[in-house]
Amino acid sequence: MYRIATLLLALLLSLPAFAEAPEEGDEAVIKPTYYSLVPALVGNYGTGERLKYYKADISLKVMGPEAEAKVEHHEPLIRNQLIMLFSQQTDDTLATVEAKEALRQEALKQVRQVLEQEEGQPLVEDLLFNNLILQ
């Protein structure tokens, strides 16, 4: 009984050795990673007598750990660019789903421009609003 259990354990431990390893000619598959800007962006927007606030939880879709490290390195500049963009918004530019999508597209464009300027390539595939609260 002990021999069978030992044999089974040895077989289970050797399974990773049988896994298909990529050959030298094959390119490694790069999986997307989502880099969250933590803490969330919080600030005020609009003009008028009453202050209006936003809170935006944002994730950036990047391809691979190298791009993620570069995005993390430039996070302060990215955050500054996004805060400036949000502070310029009005009720009209945040009122509808279409307006929020236009804001998301503009935010993505500006983040990509910053990274293009700093790194020579955009690095960010997409920008997602995980949560966008307006008050």
What is residue 51's predicted lDDT score, i.e. its pLDDT?
85
In Å, how far from its chain's centre is CA 10? 41
Task: Residue 44: name the closest of 53, 35, 36, 32 by CA.
Answer: 53
**The CATH number of the domain covering residues in 24-134:** 3.30.479
Residue 98: the pLDDT is 95
Domain positions in the chain are 24-134
Return d(Cα 78, Cα 102) in angstroms, integer. 18
pLDDT of residue 122: 93
Q: What is residue 29's predicted lDDT score, i.e. its pLDDT?
A: 82
Residue with tokens 């490290």: 69
For the chain, what is the mean pLDDT? 86
* Helix then strand then coil, % of the chain, to nearest 5: 50, 25, 25
Query: Which residues of the chain fall below pLDDT 50?
Result: none
